């Protein structure tokens, strides 16, 4: 079984998000990148399939140099193959462009499953998986909490999150693209030593085909949210603030 995982680098929101002078994008110099959290879950799910069924896992790292680091981590965790897909700053956050690019790269890969996180914090044009699936004419399903091989051949059983904490069990005939919401167990830890080792010894294939030149969604403005109705902020130390809150609760008959 061959599984591809798409691992994107996205702006890390722990750091301050600085808007560029044009007011429509992030300032390139100030952005710190981190692997998209749900793509981490996708990798974990792929590794779980590797553990259970000996699947071959190919990690596709999308972005700049941070993507190469993410590939080292993926290999250290157990990915069998590492592919670097360079993507310049100006092309990031555009899933339609990325999907078209990846479709060309993945089409002949012979993958049974392509996993990616169902969402990324910087995307504004819909989930990557669905767009990619359409290009490759294969099914897509997102919001997944679990993936496994079905008891009857050629199919994959997935658990999809439905509202109210419900879980829908579905069967999909591969090849298919799966949008992961949460891997069956949290992404595993890999010691720094192993990552360093992987950095030195891994073989990375670099995709050199140019990114398609298609127009993306036209963003006119990027800004901090308007502070509309905002919370009344309580000042003071723990004692003071706790007293205020406790009294507010009392006034509302909540005690």
Partner 1 sequence: MSPDSIVVIAEHLKGELSDITLEMLACGRELANASGSELICMVLADDPGPFKALPFASNKTIIVKNPVLGTFNPEAYCKVLSHMLKEMSPRIVLMGSTSVGMDLAGMLSVTLGATVVGNCTRIQIEGRKLLVTSKLYGGKLTARSEVDQGMVLCLLMTGSYSKEGGMKNEISQIDIRDSPLSLDGLRTQFRELVEPEEGDVDLTKVPVLVGAGRGVQGADNVRVLEELAGLLGGAVCATRPVVDQGWLPRTRQVGRSGVIVKPRLYLAFGISGAPEHVEGMKDSEFIVAVNTDSGAPIFEVAHYGSTLDLQDLAPVLAEKIKELKGGK
Partner 2 sequence: MSSIVSSEVSAGPEMNVTQAFLSRLEKLPDGQKVRDCIQCGMCAGVCPHGYAMDYTPRRMIAALRAGRLDDLFRSDSIWLCVACFNCSYRCPSGIPLAERLIPSLREELLSTGVGVPKELQTAFERTARYGNPFGESPKKRDAWIKEAGVKVRVLKEGDSADVLWHVGCFPSYNKANLKDTIALAKLLNVLDVDFGIMGSDEWCAGDLRCTAVGEEGLFNLLFEHNSLQLAGRSFKEVLVGDPHAYNALSREYARMGTAYRVSHYTQFLEERIPELSKLLKKKIDAKVTYHDSCCLGRKNDIYEAPRSLLEIIPGVKILEMPRNKENALCCGGGGGAMWLDSFIWERTRVPLSIQRVQEAARTGADILAVSCPLEIPRFEDAIKSSGLEGRLQVREISHMLADALGLVGGV
| Contacts (CB under 8 A) with partner 1, residues 163-182 | 163-173, 176, 179, 181-182
What does the alpha-carbon distance between residue 114 and residue 8 come to, in Å, rounded to a whole number? 14
Size of the site for partner 1 (CB under 8 A): 84
Q: Find the shortest distance in angstroms from Cβ 22 to partner 1.
A: 13
Rg (CA), the chain: 21
Q: Find the shortest distance in angstroms from Cβ 21 to partner 1.
A: 16
181 with 144: CB under 8 angstroms? yes
Which 180-219 residues touch partner 1, going by CB under 8 A?
181-182, 186, 217-219
Stretch that binds partner 1, among 47-55, 67-75, 104-112, 231-239 (CB under 8 A): 231-239
**Token representation of residue 117:** 């996180």
**Residue 196's binding partner out of partner 2, partner 1, none, with CB under 5 to 8 Å set by partner kind:** partner 2
* 199 near partner 2, rule: CB under 8 A: no
Of 78 and 212, nearer to partner 2 (C-beta) is: 78
Separation in Å, CA 173 to CA 78, 233, 240, 245: 26, 53, 60, 54
Q: Is the peptide bond before 130 cis (omega within 30 degrees of 0)?
A: no
Tokens 């896992």 -> residue: 57
What does the alpha-carbon distance between residue 20 and residue 11 come to, in Å, rounded to a whole number? 14
* 2 near partner 2, rule: CB under 8 A: no
Which 132-151 residues touch partner 1, going by CB under 8 A?
132-135, 138-143
């Amino acid at each position: 079984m061959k599984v591809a995982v798409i691992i994107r680098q996205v702006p890390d929101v722990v750091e301050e998000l600085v808007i560029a002078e044009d007011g429509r994008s992030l300032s390139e110099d100030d952005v710190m990148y981190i692997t998209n959290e749900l793509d981490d879950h996708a990798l974990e799910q792929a590794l779980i399939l590797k553990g259970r069924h000996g699947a071959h896992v190919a990690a596709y790292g999308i972005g700049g140099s941070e993507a190469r680091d993410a590939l080292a981590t993926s290999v250290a965790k157990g990915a069998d193959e590492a592919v670097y897909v360079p993507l310049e700053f100006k092309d990031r956050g555009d899933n339609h462009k990325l999907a078209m690019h990846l479709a060309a790269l993945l089409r002949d890969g012979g993958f049974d499953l392509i996993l990616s996180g169902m969402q990324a914090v910087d995307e504004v044009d819909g989930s990557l998986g669905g767009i990619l699936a359409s290009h490759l004419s294969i099914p897509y399903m997102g919001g997944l909490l679990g993936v496994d091989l079905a008891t009857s051949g050629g199919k994959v059983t997935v658990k999809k999150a439905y509202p109210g904490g419900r879980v829908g069990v579905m069967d999909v005939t591969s090849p298919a693209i799966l949008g992961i919401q949460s891997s069956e167990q949290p992404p595993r830890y890999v010691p720094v030593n192993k990552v360093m080792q992987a950095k030195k010894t891994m073989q990375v294939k670099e995709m050199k085909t140019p990114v398609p030149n298609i127009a993306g969604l036209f963003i006119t403005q990027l800004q901090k949210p308007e502070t509309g109705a905002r919370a009344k902020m309580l000042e003071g130390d723990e004692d003071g603030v706790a007293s205020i809150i406790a009294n507010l609760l009392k006034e509302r008959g909540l005690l």
